Structure 1
Amino acid sequence: MAAKKPAPPRPVPRLYLATPVVDDPAPLVASLPGLLAGADVAALLLRLKPSDPRGMTSRIKALAPAVQDSGAALLIDGNIELVARAGADGAHLTGIDALQDALPTLKPDRIAGVGGLSTRHDSMTAGEAGADYVLFGEPDSHGQRPSPDAIAERLQWWAELFEPPCVGFAATFDEAREFAAAGADFVLVGDMVWNDPRGAAAALMDAQQAIRQGHAMSGTSRPGMMPA
């Protein structure tokens, strides 16, 4: 009997960078090219300050070249009606209902990712509905989130059983390391990067290093591509 072919090694998880809430895009337009050139960022999640649709569309269009020219995907936090109009690559939705409402607008050409999945059943429902990724560990509307161990457990469960990529929301470098080890395909970082007193570039590089350390501790086999 032929020996079972070993599974290919799991690619190193990639960074998924969430912006601060953006009102004036000019500072990000200036800083993003250098920031994205220095780290392996698969996608950027743009969080917009609410305003009129025309104003938000203008902010997306101002930032899109800096993101997409680096090879990263540009996703909008909600606001699915602006995605195609502004030339973004997709949207991140919160909760099953928001995902299901967005799928007819976004699919098949754009990415539809989802978070706000408080139960395993919700996660499986999202995967079956056609989510391009599931996010675990982000704060809820009250700023509360599961413990790092609980997030890592959910990531490991998903990575072992399901095909769509999973993303771990990391609030610290230790969490980035732990979630990469648990089987995350992507690690989302945000305020921990922008609020670092050393600057965003140094923080992003440290997050990437933590992910690589976590990956070296992991023996899981997983695909590692952000859907296009």
Structure 2
Amino acid sequence: MTQAQSEDFARLYLATPRLAEVEAFLPRLAAALAAAEVASLLLRLDNLEGSAAERAVGAIAEITQPAGVALLIEGDPELVSRCGADGLHLPYDEKRLAAASKRLSPDYIVGVGGLSTRDEAMRAGEAGADYLLFGDVGENGAPPPLEWTAERVAWWAEIFNTPCVAFARSLAEVGPLSAAGAEFVLLAEAVWDDPRGPAEAVRDAARLAREAGR
């Protein structure tokens, strides 16, 4: 997952639902990744540990790796290194970020979300995060409106080189966030809960990102 320097639109980054098991999810994931180009996938496991978590990561990787999709795992640096995933995603915490970077960088991606203030974003960037996610939380800890996320993305993209990811809560937000300067747009429930199915949602998201440009 690197900065999309050769393209003038945001690339897609999908986040799975929180999964207590992955088997039933695999066909939906395969359909989504076959529908349009996806740069990265964030795997969010729910109460899976040890060998069960390793098997889950392995099953997901069998779909992401042939598709050229970077696989990141939420929260567990040991699972990343044990299972050969491509990286880790963490909510912002100075000590956890420092420990994860020391353990995983430069061989693995270390991305950070949960950035409610500009000061936190700058600290995360200075600490060596490989990307910053905006829009998963706002300044009061609640989901922020589109305008807040777009403003934060535009501010970051204009000043800093570290890639930024923008969280789109709906397909309608993909275009504005791409236009604001996000290198990647993260989609979660907007894809998996789409009544048309994840493949159609991903196709639409890719189209909207390309049409908006940056």
TM-score (structure 2 length as normaliser): 0.91
Following TM superposition, by how much is the alpha carbon of 1:127 offset from its aligned partner in structure 2, in angstroms?
0.9
Match of 2:204 among 206, 213, 216: 206
Task: Say whether the 8 Å CA contact 2:87–2:110 is kept in structure 1.
Answer: yes
Matches within 5 A, 1:33-44: 33-44=30-41
Matches within 5 A, 1:209-224: 209-215=207-213, 218=214
Q: Residue 180 in 1 paired to residue 210 in 2?
A: no
> In the alignment, which residue of structure 1 is the partner of 2:133?
135
> In the alignment, which residue of structure 2 is the partner of 1:20?
17
Amino acid at match of 2:72: L
Farther-moved stretch of structure 1 (170-179 vs 48-57): 48-57
Q: Give the aligned length.
A: 208
TM-score (structure 1 length as normaliser): 0.86
Task: Say whether the 8 Å CA contact 1:33–1:70 is kept in structure 2.
Answer: no
Matches within 5 A, 1:96-175: 96-97=93-94, 98-139=96-137, 144-175=142-173
Cα distance change of structure 1 residues 120 and 208 upon mapping to structure 2, 3 Å threshold: same
DSSP-derived class of the 2:39 partner: strand
User: Deviations 1:78-124 (Å, cap 9, x if unpaired)?
Assistant: 11110011111111010132322211111110000000111111111
Amino acid at match of 2:80: V
Amino acid at match of 2:55: S
Farther-moved stretch of structure 1 (34-43 vs 191-200): 34-43
User: Deviations 1:33-76 (Å, cap 9, x if unpaired)?
Assistant: 33212211100000001133221111101111201110010000
User: Deviations 1:156-210 (Å, cap 9, x if unpaired)?
Assistant: 0011010011000000122111100100000000001100111010111111112
In 2, Cα distance between equivalents of 1:34 and 1:147? 30
User: Deviations 1:3-44 (Å, cap 9, x if unpaired)?
Assistant: xxxxx8753210000001112211333343332122111000
Cα distance change of structure 1 residues 177 and 23 upon mapping to structure 2, 3 Å threshold: same
Percentage identity across paired residues of the two chains: 47
Amino acid at match of 1:80: P
Matches within 5 A, 1:57-96: 57-96=54-93
> In the alignment, which residue of structure 2 is the partner of 1:226?
none
Amino acid at match of 1:207: A
Q: Which runs of 5+ in 1 are unaligned?
A: 1-7, 219-228
DSSP-derived class of the 2:107 partner: coil
**Larger C-alpha radius of gyration, 1 or 2?**
1
CA-based RMSD of the aligned residues comes to 1.8
Match of 1:30 among 27, 32, 35: 27
